[in-house]
Structure 1
């Protein structure tokens, strides 16, 4: 099955360039001129990854990214001329997985896309492998070589969620909603406490993975060697 890539950009030349590059790589390309058109495409088509510009009429890329993150489980790459840190920060807070500044190298964009698609395929797997650590999502167990570890449910769910998207940055609010549920009345401190416990519990596994704090934003899990 061909993977479907949604390209959202009000610049027809960028869409034409990406259409040529992506079709050459064997992808099916869907296009939208702005966020409103993109929402309509997402509602009627199967999309595996979205490449989204920021500055667009009607609905900008930050708004679209936040909607995608709330309603769909697909990777998003921001492709924009805005290269300031504050722009990148706003994009990551909106939920983007990666950020590429125009002008860009097509080969680099393709590499980033392929890396994200590999990461997201882990989500559908019942087994998540982080080097020598294996997370069994069906059995709620963690295998460290010959050792099998059972940890409290919320710690397990938090670790499995982070491990499903290695390298992706999550805000505390996003983790609360995804792991504890939208009706949970606690706050981000709950996430901090569980992250602290996971770090202590797996402190001897730093050669396999680490959970990194991004000050003022949230957390991400990084797989050693990647």
Structure 2
């Protein structure tokens, strides 16, 4: 049988087709996160959701989620995600039935991402908050978080000075990388050992590296 070819999609049709595809995948997987991505495509066409949910971003977040479960367990009262962007990691934790998470607060300094994060996490609106805030200006003692996550430590000029703002004994999950050629990465590290020395946690429950095509991502889980 001869198959007829279809003309390539016009650029103006990209969002419509992406929306239909995301809705189809959401229906098949029954994933609130994928359903949220479909809503973002429809409601926030200027959001960089394809970049936020590309395979490298997803792999790093899956690594964080699965390692957290293995190392520190499944139950959390409140998780604070710093530099939370569109709230994808929060959604990944909230939709994972292996976890018992009461609430996730996603903080980002960019006010434009708050509405997108709320749209993406609409299914979890009673347990998810998106807040516009500078991580250096937060009063961490009043956040009520038993886990603080920061997967963008390469953007922090002085990691230990920021960690000193977090109450002693708080569990943290931190990620950095050795992608030195990226101009916005102002504090990359060459190894997980260097990362561990920089963070100077009182307890390290996990330290490891995830190789990617262009760089290695490093992760620490422990207590301040």
Q: Same fold (TM over 0.5)?
A: no
- Larger RCO of the pair (alpha carbons < 8 Å, separation 6+): 2
